[in-house]
């Protein structure tokens, strides 16, 4: 079975695992100008994973949880804040950096990220994180690294060394995160063969482009740039 990765614009992704589970990462759907109309109302959801507390990442989490009752995995302080919004607190879904949560054949590890994190009502939301999402089936492990919102940092080489991601999902929009110049170095540090850029083009300020990244990326790295709503299959 394959893994399907669908970009929903900005940093929102839908992942369909080889085992048939549907995962949303940073599901900013309503209010996301690049989210396709047909993706605004998820038809099902088995798991939500969040990188940090900003509302362009938490997005529709509460509404999706209310509808499907799916687990929500996020850094412990952010997960605590979500409890105040009606998502019953579950310490098993509230890790911190370096920790791994297992949900059946899916494992979620939080990594470092350099950014800020607070909620829409100004609450402390812990620190921002990246996510290593490993999808297992009987024959293989497929690993996607979602960097979250961050600049490049040297310890990305540790993420590459420890988790060997098959794909890196990197922000490239610039202004609030790294742009293509830093993302190219991130790819080198991670040692990945494939990159899916995100957090660009949503608003005029997020001006980095996949073409700029392609010019700067290490030789042999494939920069895949799906349209919002388009699915990549691995
Ligand atoms: Zn953001």
DSSP state of 227: P
Report CA(201)–ligand 1 centroid distance (Å).
Answer: 12
- What is the CA(226)–ligand 1 centre distance, in A? 19
Nearest CA to 113 out of 186, 200, 13 is that of 186
Report CA(176)–ligand 1 centroid distance (Å). Answer: 7
CA distance 185 to 181: 7
Which residues contact residue 75 at a Cβ distance below 8 angstroms, ignoring those fewer than 6 apart?
A: 50, 52, 94, 95, 96, 97, 110, 117, 125, 126, 127, 128, 129
Output the tens digit of pLDDT for each of the chain's 234 residues.
Answer: 799 999 999 999 999 999 999 999 999 999 999 999 999 999 999 999 999 999 999 999 999 999 999 999 999 999 999 999 999 999 999 999 999 999 999 999 999 999 999 999 989 999 999 999 999 988 889 999 999 999 999 999 999 999 999 999 999 999 999 999 999 999 999 999 999 999 999 999 999 999 999 999 999 999 999 999 999 999
Interior angle at CA 199, CA 196 and CA 200, nearest 5: 90
CATH code of the region 4-226: 3.60.15.10
Distance 19 CA to ligand 1 centre (A): 29
d(CA 157, CA 191): 8
Q: What is the pTM of this model?
A: 0.98
Contacts of 15 (CB under 8 A, 6+ apart): 3, 4, 5, 6, 22, 23, 24, 25, 133, 135, 144
- How do strand 167-171 and strand 141-146 relate by DSSP bridges? parallel
Domain ranges of the chain: 4-226
* Residue 221 φ then ψ, to 5°: -85, 130
Query: If we measure between CA atoms, which residue out of 141, 143, 146 comes closest to residue 131?
Result: 146
Distance (angstroms) between ligand 1 centre and the Cα of 177 equals: 8
Provide the token pair at 70. 């799916």
Token pair belonging to 77 = 């302080």
Distance 1 CA to ligand 1 centre (A): 31
């Amino acid at each position: 079975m394959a893994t399907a990765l669908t970009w929903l614009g900005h940093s929102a992704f839908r992942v369909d695992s080889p085992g048939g589970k549907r995962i949303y990462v940073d599901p900013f759907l309503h209010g996301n100008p690049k989210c396709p109309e047909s993706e605004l109302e998820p038809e099902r959801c088995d798991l939500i994973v969040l990188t940090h507390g900003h509302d362009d990442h938490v997005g529709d989490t509460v509404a999706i949880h209310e509808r499907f009752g799916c687990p929500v995995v996020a850094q412990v302080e952010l997960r605590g804040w979500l409890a105040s919004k009606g998502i019953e607190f579950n310490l098993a879904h509230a890790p911190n950096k370096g920790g791994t949560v297992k949900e059946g054949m899916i494992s979620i590890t939080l990594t470092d990220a350099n950014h800020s994190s607070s909620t829409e009502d100004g609450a402390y939301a812990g620190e921002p994180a990246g996510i290593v999402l490993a999808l297992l089936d009987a024959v293989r492990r497929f690993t996607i690294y979602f960097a979250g919102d961050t600049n490049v940092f040297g310890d990305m080489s540790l993420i590459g060394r420890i988790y060997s991601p098959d794909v890196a999902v990197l922000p490239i929009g610039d202004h609030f995160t790294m742009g293509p110049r830093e993302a190219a170095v991130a790819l080198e540090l991670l040692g990945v063969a494939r990159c899916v850029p995100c957090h660009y083009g949503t608003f005029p300020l997020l001006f980095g482009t996949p073409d700029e990244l392609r010019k700067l990326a290490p030789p042999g790295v494939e920069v895949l740039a799906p349209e919002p709503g388009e699915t990549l299959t691995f």
